[in-house]
A = this chain, B = another copy of it.
Amino acid sequence: MVEKSILAISVLTTSYLLKPSDEAFGVTLSANCRIGIGNVVVRQNETIVLIDELRASSTVVTACALGVEEILPVLDDAMAMELQHHGVVIAGEQGCLKIEGYDIGNSPVELTRRFAQTPFSKLALKTTNFIPLLLKLPHAIICSSLNLAAVARAVKNRSLCIIAAGGTYGVAEDCGVALGLAAAVSGATFEPEAVIACISESAAAHNLRAKGLGYDVDFIARLNVYEVVPYYDGKVIRKSCPVQSQSSFWR
């Protein structure tokens, strides 16, 4: 089992992370890509990709794919309620379950159902791991298995820092997607099941199923469904176009 303190792992392995790739593997570089877990110290020139597969990244990717224009990360309930008062749909979880008073949980399935009832353009999102991690970053592309190929195309030839968020129950699902993204960026191909197995068999998936949220696991454990590349600019997450020429927008 993964250590409960993802931070501890990150600190312990920082020296490994900060080695140049060629030193770590003794090979000539054909890509400039590293994968860290949790609170990673990012470098100024890096394109950051944040993955919290079950479920925050997948909720964000699904929202952008549906047509939600802005996703506002929030840390506290008072802010969320204030936004709700101004017509923003608010999604939030604590211990994986929907917070009382919120419109939906941190759930792409509940989000899709809510959007089908009445489409909306702004979503506020509060989650235990993803939002605090995101707010520490200067910028980030949001990736899940659902938009992996789109992200791979968008970040090609960039200096990449892929962050697997991890959480209380484990990190295998985030690492499977992170490794899949690193492989895809280098031009490797794989059967969809190669990434999906890491999601479906993860401790986080077991936990969600045990809590009656298996419908989200089933929805999320799919590869390359959406073309969107959500981008957090330090304030808000917006859908951005994955066309290569526009990617100079991203640091």
Contact (Cβ within 8 A) B33 A186? yes
Contact (Cβ within 8 A) A175 B187? no
Contact (Cβ within 8 A) B191 A35? yes
For chain A, the bracket of interface size reads: 35 or more
When each residue 1-44 of chain A gets 1 if its CB lies under 8 Å from chain B and 0 otherwise, what string results?
11000000110010011010110111111111111110000000
Residues of B within 8 A of A65 (CB): none
With A175-B197, A184-B25, A201-B201 as contacts: A190 and B34 at CB distance below 8 Å: yes
Interface residues in A145-192 (C-beta closer than 8 Å to B):
149, 152-153, 156, 164, 166, 170-172, 175-176, 178-180, 182-192
Of the candidates B1, B17, B198, which one forms a contact with A176 in the assembled complex, judged by CB atoms under 8 Å apart?
Answer: B198
Interface residues in A31-59 (C-beta closer than 8 Å to B):
31-37
Contact (Cβ within 8 A) A186 B186? yes
Q: Which residue of B lies closest to A200 (CB)?
A: B1
Contact (Cβ within 8 A) A35 B190? yes
How many monomers of this protein are in the complex?
2
With A30-B30, A153-B26, A172-B172 as contacts: A179 and B195 at CB distance below 8 Å: yes
Contact (Cβ within 8 A) B201 A37? no
Interface residues in A177-226 (C-beta closer than 8 Å to B):
178-180, 182-195, 197-198, 200-203
**Sampled A-B contacts (27; CB under 8 Å):** A10-B191, A13-B193, A21-B188, A21-B189, A22-B187, A24-B189, A26-B153, A27-B153, A28-B156, A29-B187, A31-B187, A31-B188, A33-B183, A34-B189, A36-B191, A171-B194, A172-B200, A175-B190, A175-B194, A175-B198, A176-B179, A178-B190, A178-B194, A185-B188, A186-B187, A186-B188, A201-B203
A residues near B (Cβ < 8 Å) are: 1-2, 9-10, 13, 16-17, 19, 21-22, 24-37, 149, 152-153, 156, 164, 166, 170-172, 175-176, 178-180, 182-195, 197-198, 200-203
Give me the 8 closest cross-chain CB pairs, A-B, nearest first: A186-B186, A179-B179, A35-B190, A182-B183, A172-B201, A33-B188, A29-B187, A175-B194
